[in-house]
Amino acid sequence: VAQKKVAEVLPADADLRVTSLNPAADRIWGPAAAIAGEPVTALYTGHPVLSSRPRLTAVMGSDRVLTVENVTSGSADGERVLDVNVVPLRSREGMAEGVLLIADDVTEKMAMRRRLLQAERLATIGRLSAQVAHEVRNPLNALGLNVEVLEEEVQKIAKTGADPAEAYAIVR
pLDDT tens digit sequence for 10-21: 889 999 998 888
10 burial class (0-12, 13-18, 19+ CB within 10 angstroms)? Answer: buried
| pLDDT for the residue 170 | 65
R_g of the chain, CA atoms, integer Å: 35
| pLDDT for the residue 1 | 44
Residues 6+ apart with CB under 8 A from 17: 37, 38, 39, 40
Which positions of the chain have pLDDT values less than 70? 1-6, 30-33, 74-77, 164, 166-168, 170-172
Length of the chain: 172
57 burial class (0-12, 13-18, 19+ CB within 10 angstroms)? Answer: middle
Q: Do 98 and 83 contact (CB within 8 A), yes or no?
A: no
| pLDDT for the residue 110 | 82
| pLDDT for the residue 99 | 93
| pLDDT for the residue 16 | 92
Taking 3-state DSSP, the helix, strand and coil percentages for the chain, each rounded to the nearest 5, stand at 50, 25, 25
pTM of this prediction? 0.61
| pLDDT for the residue 2 | 46
Distance of CA 25 to the CA centre of its chain: 23
Q: Which of 59, 54, 62, 19 is nearest to 39 (CA)?
A: 19
